[in-house]
Structure 1
Amino acid sequence: MAIIPIMDLKPGVKLVKSVYTPMGSLLFHKGKVLLQRDLDILKAFMVETVEVGKLGDKMVQSRENTSSIEPLAQDSSSLVKQSSFAEEYDKLFNMIKSSLPSVEAAGIPIYEIRNQLERLIQYIKDYNPISFLPRILNDYEYMYHNAVLCALSSYKLAEWSGLPKKDWMQVAFAGLFHDIGNVKVDPSILFKPSQLTLEEIREMRDHTKIGYQLLKNVAGINEGVRLAALQHHEKVDGTGYPRGQESNEIHIYSKIVGVVDIFHAMTLNKAYRKGQSPYLVLEQILSESFGKLDPKLVQTFIRKVTEFNNGVIVRLSNDKIGEIVFSNHNEPTRPMVSSENVIINLEKQRNLFIVEIVKE
């Protein structure tokens, strides 16, 4: 181990201590092997010294020969876990797709759904709301994908927000069933590509009250799950619907689902609109939700979904492909991206933004 001035560093050394910017933001984790672009980043942040240890020549060479926009190969166990997550996701999706349309006549097979949801939750560590997309995405199946994704994201946000563990599965149910009332909305309204009339808006908004009634006598869920179906469109300033309730009247489950529902509604493809960039959506949620959504939940969600994205390959709005090399916790949606040996600071280059995640 040695403390080395930045000017004397060479590519291929391994950090034995994490590196922080002069303002206290994490720049590189302990254990990272420094490549040439990393040295440029250290210089850009005016870091003076780092603590490093020399790696074996073979390992250094293999890392240096890796393309700057190609992630390191995953081991087989990681690939198996990701495959298992996708398979369990598809099973829950198909269960929801087959059961929700007939819920009024046949009821909800709550225990079967719970068992499958628990199997999916076993792989929750392999789920990142900002990068995961279903393998098969039919535009007209949006409602069912949104249900499963909101269940997973609500579970994570409940955990990230410090809710007791006993609530996490119930919050997942809240995300899964929040739009159940849409099964009684005319499909011509649900999938209408043009602007809704006032009458159609009133019918659409009724899905919240319908959802609460459909869940009223379902066993295995608590009142917070039912209230999430009723309140997920309420806003903390009282401008939402159906009752115009303010923050202290809105259940915490409803607030959590309200955040993740907006995120997935904007990023998923619909029959009449292509999904937007998740990074751009997070920016819009942050800027447009002031006074509308719970600010702590919004900030927690944005911080956590962007927290460990260094190394992720993205496409920028100028169509260039690059790798996220640093995320500023003050502006997590505008990281530094290395593209064609140039560091692009999206925090300063406001005309550019991340269009899509190409590969994790």
Structure 2
Amino acid sequence: MPNILVGEVKAGSKIIKDVITPLGGTLFTKGKILLPRDLDILQAFLIGQVEIEGDQGEASSDGAKTTAKQASPKAGAIINESMLAKTNSPLHDEYDKMLTLIKNSYRSVTAASLPIFELRSQLETLIGYLKDYHVLKFTPRTLKYEDYNYHNAVLSALTSYKIAQWCGYPQKDWMQIAFAGLLHDIGNAKVDSSLLQKPESLNNSEIEEVRRHTTYGYQLLRNVTAINEGVRLAALQHHEKIDGSGYPLKLDGSQIHFYAKVVAVADIFHAMTLERAYRRAQSPYLVLEQILTESFGKLDPVIVQTFIQKSTDLFNGTRIKLSDGRHGEIIFTDRANPTRPMVKIEETIVNLMLERELYIQEIIA
């Protein structure tokens, strides 16, 4: 059938040729059934015409049935995601148990050995609910800035496990990488807590003491069984940088264990999105953009790119809150700019790639 003007296309129509944006990206692929919101997307991208299967009147009638079938699972998914956003899930139950266990471990590690087998058992139970964990969506039940280290540990464990999967590392390393995330900051147990909670800037000697948590961590883990050397090196090396500008040993990229490279990304993300004594929690989308900037010469670029692409892989219709307080839903994500999707707010479409002063503050469901 000849091309149809976008203004004349009806919901339920089936596209028979890929729709390409003016910049050369694929907006919709051949075979897609157009939903009502898709018509807004076509207009927002200034698409003039599309090729539609068969007579449009018939296509709309038949397509409406198909659309209903397709929309139903998506609607169900929205309900499920919304339920997961609440804090009454088994994932939250096991998270809280892990949080209590790691908190007790921090408090006792300088006087007694780590309860490593208990930690492993609870970590395995928690990982069992990983399918319900979304890096950008998950929020613990209670967040107190004085518990930052413990939340960072558990969240870094979950995120490091995810990254290991996404990057295609051998399965035998997944649990050990989760351990690396869980224990990477264990050396903070030997650092004066007043320095870790200090709201003012640290002086040079205080900075040096805080930085020693990396060597303290390696020392505390040196004789612990049930973890491998990669876990110990992650505690030592997670603040090293690819260009050799990190600490404590100023190693370059080839000298840094890949566990430490994974944990570094997870640690930075959660450090910036959790409330701290000296800083408010930041938008996860802004943090991803900062991590992307940081990746040039600092973090492993493959791990960073994979983390950003996978964590922002949300379905259209995901409800969000913008930085100006308005609520809307994601209607299209350009994979070349995954942190700046198009958002529909009532009858207005906001293109975050163009409106750079705005950003997604929070994912609601």
Q: Work out whether 1:173 is the aligned partner of 2:174.
A: no
Q: Post-superposition shift, 1:21?
A: 3.6
Q: Work out whether 1:123 is the aligned partner of 2:124.
A: no
RMSD (Å) for aligned C-alpha atoms? 3.0
Deviates more, 1:23-32 or 1:319-328: 23-32
Q: 2:325 aligns with which of 319, 324, 338?
A: 319
In 2, the alpha carbon distance for the partners of 1:228 and 1:91 equals: 24
Partner SS for 1:74: helix
In 2, the alpha carbon distance for the partners of 1:93 and 1:29 equals: 47
Deviations 1:100-141 (A, max 9, x none): 210122211111111111111111111111111111111110
Q: Please give the TM-score of this superposition, normalised by the length of structure 1.
A: 0.88
Partner SS for 1:73: helix
What's 1:275 paired with?
Answer: 281
Q: Post-superposition shift, 1:308?
A: 1.9
In 2, the alpha carbon distance for the partners of 1:208 and 1:119 equals: 28
What's 1:48 paired with?
Answer: 50
Deviates more, 1:206-215 or 1:301-310: 301-310
Q: Post-superposition shift, 1:248?
A: 0.2
Q: Post-superposition shift, 1:318?
A: 2.1
What's 1:349 paired with?
Answer: 355
What's 2:56 paired with?
Answer: none
Q: Work out whether 1:241 is the aligned partner of 2:247.
A: yes
Q: 2:156 aligns with which of 142, 146, 150?
A: 150
Letter in 2 for 1:259: V
The 3 A distance-change label for structure 1 pair 312 and 75 is: closer
Q: 2:304 aligns with which of 282, 290, 298?
A: 298
In 2, the alpha carbon distance for the partners of 1:14 and 1:110 equals: 58
Partner SS for 1:348: coil
Deviates more, 1:97-106 or 1:182-191: 97-106
In 2, the alpha carbon distance for the partners of 1:32 and 1:87 equals: 40
Q: Please give the TM-score of this superposition, normalised by the length of structure 2.
A: 0.87
The 3 A distance-change label for structure 1 pair 355 and 132 is: same
Q: Work out whether 1:250 is the aligned partner of 2:259.
A: no
The 3 A distance-change label for structure 1 pair 247 and 18 is: farther
The 3 A distance-change label for structure 1 pair 329 and 98 is: same
The 3 A distance-change label for structure 1 pair 178 and 30 is: farther
The 3 A distance-change label for structure 1 pair 79 and 329 is: closer
The 3 A distance-change label for structure 1 pair 107 and 15 is: farther
In 1, the alpha carbon distance for the partners of 2:156 and 2:199 equals: 23
The 3 A distance-change label for structure 1 pair 30 and 339 is: farther
Percentage of identical aligned residues: 52
Deviations 1:58-106 (A, max 9, x none): 959x98xx9xxx9843399979997111111111111111222101222
Q: Post-superposition shift, 1:43?
A: 3.3
Partner SS for 1:106: coil
Letter in 2 for 1:55: A
Q: Does the CA-based 8 Å contact 1:18-1:26 persist in structure 2?
A: no
